[in-house]
């Protein structure tokens, strides 16, 4: 669906107001989609950058309100996991603070696993997610939250826009901006859309 179709065939359900982001790495406000967003449309206005100034924008989504990346420096329990195990046990109390299902963790080797359900520190997992490779992880291996990226806009120097589909189980969106050379106003405005074809019961 292109931008014109998006505007004509959907309803705005959330709005992310413009805000100025400064030099360096800065995270914009986390927006709660209330579980009804289906598409996101961002307009980024970089204003007038200093000489050579550029901005890189990453739009991320999660089902965690804090979206802290990582939540902590969690580790696997002493047994670790082999290359095919689908149950991962974190060190005692390390599971606290994570959702009960549907979130990604990145392990020491770079393998990303999706936690499909969690009871205490015991996680049921899907291996080798987002193009990574399953491998053996020893006890004490690091396990951290891995926040999915919806869209990336690189080297913005004037006006940029992006559009992306939101996963149905991802409720929160945030923007991370990296600005180089000189600080300059970077306006970030977003709309969350609900497609007009609304499922029964909503």
Q: What is the CATH number of the domain that holds 140?
A: 2.40.30
Confirm whether 83 is domain-assigned.
yes
| 200 located within any domain | no
Contact present, 189 and 4 (Cβ < 8 Å): no
pLDDT category of residue 2 using cuts at 50, 70 and 90: very low
Residue 184 has pLDDT above 80, yes or no: no
- Please indicate, yes or no, if residue 114 is contained in any of the structural domains: yes
Measuring CA to CA, which residue among 63, 65, 66, 44 is closest to residue 55? 44
129 and 78 together in one domain: yes
- For 7, phi then psi, to 5°, come to -70, -30
Residue 201: its pLDDT value, please?
47
What is residue 52's predicted lDDT score, i.e. its pLDDT?
Answer: 64
CATH number of residue 161's parent domain: 2.60.120.380
Question: Is the pLDDT score of 80 beyond 50?
Answer: yes
Is the pLDDT confidence value at 120 over 80? yes
More confident residue, 71 or 84: 84
Domain that residue 49 falls in: 3-62+151-195
Question: How many domains are contained in the chain?
Answer: 2
Quick one: which of 59, 3, 13, 60 has its CA closest to 36? 13
């Amino acid at each position: 669906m292109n931008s014109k179709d998006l505007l004509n065939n959907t309803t705005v359900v959330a709005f992310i107001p413009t805000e100025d982001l400064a030099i360096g790495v800065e995270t914009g406000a986390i927006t709660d989609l209330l579980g009804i967003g289906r598409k996101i449309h961002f307009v980024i206005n970089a204003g007038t950058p200093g000489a050579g100034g550029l901005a890189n924008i990453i739009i991320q989504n999660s089902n965690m309100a804090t979206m802290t990346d990582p939540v902590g420096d969690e580790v696997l329990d002493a047994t670790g996991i082999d290359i095919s195990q689908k149950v991962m046990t974190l060190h005692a109390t390390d599971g606290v603070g994570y959702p009960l299902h549907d979130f990604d963790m990145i392990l020491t080797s770079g393998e990303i696993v999706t936690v499909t359900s969690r009871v205490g520190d015991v996680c049921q997992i899907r291996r080798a997610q987002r193009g990574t490779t399953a491998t053996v992880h020893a006890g004490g291996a690091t396990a951290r939250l891995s926040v999915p990226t919806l869209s990336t806009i690189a080297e913005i120097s004037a006006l940029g826009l992006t559009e992306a589909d939101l996963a149905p189980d991802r409720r929160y969106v945030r923007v991370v901006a990296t600005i180089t050379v000189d600080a300059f106003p970077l306006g970030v405005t977003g709309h969350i859309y609900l497609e007009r074809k609304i499922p029964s019961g909503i």
